[in-house]
Chain A
């Protein structure tokens, strides 16, 4: 079956712009999480959605937001981009929740803010 699909793979944006990243989970998976990975901070949890509801949220400013659609596809949005937002953004899906069964990750979207 198809894995977790993230689009686009690469993105270059200018400081101050906004960006939307997309994630299509494995068919049937209802939990979708987002992580930011940077060399300095490592892997950090952004938020997790289950059946269109945000269940958990990390410690990121309000410029970072997300949503999940009825087909479980998820998007995350970053407004007013800063240079420090340059990172690999990873999406992960699980049937019910990855902490009990493990997550399947996508290949990520590499965002560069210039």
Chain B
């Protein structure tokens, strides 16, 4: 079963706008990660945020984590056509557990 639920399931925005997607999870975690997947291909690691961090930036990406609400958000600023992809959050099973549990994903479409 999937621990993470992502919201929205699909999002379409104009190029240049910001995109925000949210992830909720159920159990305690050490770290939370975000991945991108272009259609039918492998996943690309975007960013990892540790449970003791509240916010992290990487280029045009900003991730927040609220462990009290068991939720995270991914913000992509100044979107580009190349950002069109599915985005997944992934949580670990705690220290020493290498199993990643993925969310259901958000399908992002950037309209040129």
Q: Secondary structure at chain A's binding surface: helix, strand, loop or mixed?
A: strand
Interfacial chain B residues near A103, Cβ < 8 Å: 43, 45, 100
Q: Are B2 and A56 in contact (CB under 8 A)?
A: no
Closest A residue by C-beta to B91: A99
What are 12 A-B pairs at a CB distance below 8 A? A42-B2, A44-B102, A45-B101, A50-B98, A56-B99, A58-B99, A90-B42, A90-B43, A98-B100, A99-B33, A99-B93, A102-B45
Q: Which residues of A contact B (CB under 8 A)?
A: 4, 31, 33, 35, 41-45, 48, 50, 55-56, 58, 88, 90, 92, 97-108, 110
Partner of B98, one of A55, A90, A104: A55
Size bracket of the B interface: 20 to 34
* Chain A CB within 10 Å, residue with most, of B97, B99, B102: B99
Contacts between the two chains (Cβ within 8 Å), count = 68
Binding site for A on B (CB under 8 A): 2, 30-31, 33, 35, 40-45, 48, 88, 90, 92-93, 97-105
How far apart sit A39 and B41, CA to CA, in the bound complex (Å)? 14
Instruction: Give A35 to B101 CA distance when docked, in angstroms.
Output: 10
